[in-house]
Structure 1
């Protein structure tokens, strides 16, 4: 059979050999972060799901894309080549989608860390919608550095625990304050110190407890049992369930404190971090961005 006469047969065969888009997205996120947990947070899947997709892609291609050393991952030469290609592909897809949106009223696309989105932003978003019914807000969940060109995000709400390009515009929203929280029944007698409870850790913030102890210069000679959960919001849910005490950033536990699901007997203190709003273009030049920043600060009374 003459393949020139039926060119679509070759295209079909080639398409059948391409990895799935979800697998390539998992690789691109993992390669960009060099961290499977952060990639999982960005794509709202687990660390193990990212690991399975990477392993499947490596088996399909027959090459190693990552080197795994001392619980850290590094790109191989093949991984760097694929990342460069995928970055171009996703940027081209985004540019094409933007061209197709011409003439449509553009929404305000806000990227926010998953736990902050679930536990603080979404419950309060109806208030912003009521104040600004003409602004359509689209939420994306992601953490860490943001590529505004690739993701086509207007604003990124983040904790300032990473570096960003000097040309990015940054506005402080609120200072982060943290403290240990637990379910009320664990301290019902009033004689138990929250620091003596089993400690709940998040794999993405393993330094939360040590940093709190060190910053507060708290004597902490007695070791206690601990559990580690993959995502930060799971550590908060574990505290609500009564599994022990977790370090809770005040914004992320404020609703649980008001409802009585959690208590914070030691209160909250600054840990040197801030929640910030990042933009590729000046925030003051865009009324939608200005209104969103003003609303965020008003929510925190800052």
Structure 2
């Protein structure tokens, strides 16, 4: 026999516990007629009577008395299962973000977030691929995209403002005074679209073709290779503040370009009220602003206001 409608079973459990339709109706926010209808539906489904009239109230039949404790136990087990699932879900925050953001920004700051939520475990999924949030395994994402897309809550983080950078030692060996000089030296990941964006933003319209060069699949590797003196990388400076402050990365030009993809914090609509998601949002947004200081590049200017 297939299970009867769960709604009817839930009504039966409450009515059996109270042996009173009115009290069951109050508990379940139903009308007394609604309770009577669900009990009748259940009795028709199993082909036996579960309650009998007793004065102005009701009483369980012998069959009702036999099954009521087992039904109550089943609902108790269901309640425990879902309570455990909710507790486990609230105890772990899953974040996905790019390798560069994870390595050069988040890793050294996530401890500060943990101090505000010591009972919350953080799982970091590091990938340059866009993860499907609808799958439910990830709570929040930090994405560099043009449009975050529908079905998600979005918070603007920063515009990605880019410029070529290299080590002082590399620039000493390979003097660069004009954009055309970049064609004469090793460019890191020269096929990356960030190079096209920067060259296209020049007033003279110089075209930087995709010359041969070292190719990496993330900005963090481009930056590390540039620090090591292997070439010129196209960099979003806020992701390399320590190297820039220490003089290990230098910009040969004062010209910056705005990359089309903006960084956003995004999460599914149905997770907007989760305490762990709100906590991370409320920590991340001011932490981003604080890390950029007086924001000399204008990275905190929302694209709509630029």
Length-normalised TM-score, structure 1: 0.57
Instruction: Tell me what 2:5 maps to.
Output: none
Match of 1:273 among 261, 280, 288: 261
2:121 is equivalent to residue 136 of structure 1: yes
C-alpha contact 1:181 1:246 (8 A) present in aligned 2: yes
- RMSD over aligned CA atoms reads 3.1
Q: Which 5+ residue runs of structure 2 have no aligned equivalent?
A: 1-81, 290-299, 301-306
2:278 is equivalent to residue 297 of structure 1: no
Instruction: Tell me what 2:6 maps to.
Output: none
Deviation at 1:233, TM superposition (A): 2.5
Deviation at 1:174, TM superposition (A): 1.4
Question: Structure 1's 169 and 190: CA in aligned 2 closer, same or farther, altered over 3 A?
Answer: same
Q: Distance in 2 between matches of 1:194 and 1:123?
A: 36
Q: Distance in 2 between matches of 1:162 and 1:144?
A: 15
C-alpha contact 1:170 1:279 (8 A) present in aligned 2: yes
Q: Which structure has the larger Rg over C-alpha atoms?
A: 2
Q: Distance in 2 between matches of 1:177 and 1:202?
A: 17
Question: Structure 1's 219 and 227: CA in aligned 2 closer, same or farther, altered over 3 A?
Answer: farther
Deviations, residues 4-28 of structure 1 (Å, cap 9, x unaligned): xxxxxxxxxxxxxxxxxxxxxxxxx
Q: Aligned with 1:277: secondary structure?
A: strand
After superposition, residues 110-129 of structure 1 pair within 5 angstroms as 110-129=95-114
Deviation at 1:140, TM superposition (A): 0.6
After superposition, residues 4-83 of structure 1 pair within 5 angstroms as none
Deviation at 1:214, TM superposition (A): 0.1
Length-normalised TM-score, structure 2: 0.57
Question: Structure 1's 274 and 120: CA in aligned 2 closer, same or farther, altered over 3 A?
Answer: same
Q: Distance in 2 between matches of 1:234 and 1:101?
A: 39
Q: Distance in 2 between matches of 1:236 and 1:190?
A: 17
C-alpha contact 2:156 2:264 (8 A) present in aligned 1: yes
Question: Structure 1's 101 and 226: CA in aligned 2 closer, same or farther, altered over 3 A?
Answer: same
**How many correspondences in the alignment?**
203
Instruction: Tell me what 1:198 maps to.
Output: 186
Q: Distance in 1 between matches of 2:195 and 2:214?
A: 12
Instruction: Tell me what 1:175 maps to.
Output: 159
Match of 1:257 among 244, 251, 261: 244
2:199 is equivalent to residue 213 of structure 1: yes
Q: Aligned with 1:108: secondary structure?
A: strand
Deviation at 1:173, TM superposition (A): 1.3
